[in-house]
Structure 1
Amino acid sequence: MAHVEPAQLAELALRNAAPTDTDAEALRHIERCDRCRDDLRMLTRVVTAARAAHLVDLPAAPPERVWQRITRDLSQEPDPPRPPPALPDHAKRALLLAALALTASTGIAALRRSRQERSAVRERT
């Protein structure tokens, strides 16, 4: 079997759905493949951290005076623009999870690229 696709690794890390035959095949591959096992381990850590995040862990919106100063410094408008509306709690958690998943996917891609480049260098020497 070829390496497990990043999307399937993410699904396995999220554990949102009942395992399928495809998942079982992927897990058998992961048992034998260090690369896929490391990728799944990293994604699982990201998912665990995102699910454990609390609202106090998320960045807070800047105070109104910050928006007023930005407006004053950038324009001559007397009235500052309104700050963006606050997101509901579930939207903040979803946004954080998406950002963490994107970060993990980027890290996995960079790691794979680095491994491929190292392998190519070794093959040339």
Structure 2
Amino acid sequence: MNHVDPSHLVELALGNTPRTAADTEALHHIAHCARCRDDLHTMTRVVEAARTAELIDLPTTPPARVWHRITRDLSGEPTAPERPRHTPDRRKRALLALLTLATAAAVTAAHCSRHRRARQQAAARLPGDPGCS
């Protein structure tokens, strides 16, 4: 089964152009295909949300440095790459220390468990037991 192309679904959701024979065929498929119907429904909701959005719905204005960088990138001017700022992240260090501690605890617990089982098996053997070596 050939599903409706996503770009065609977008055009149907936008509803900007008069319906064509291809649109009619696509709508017929959508009527019988849950996947395409769901995709069209989702795209239609996005289009409606975008059309009803107001300035207050938009996020805050980005800082000036963002616009400067966009302008610089679009202008094609070669610039030196920015050096990443190396700031220690205490949360990352704490998480790494916690993971290291948890790993060490797990290894120690596994070692102790094996040692305890070996001692219990040795104690369970009697001197006259043929399994004892």
TM-score scaled by length of structure 1: 0.49
Instruction: Report the structure, 1 or 2, having the larger helix content.
Output: 1
Higher relative contact order (CA 8 A, sep 6+): 1
- Higher-Rg structure is 2
TM-score scaled by length of structure 2: 0.46
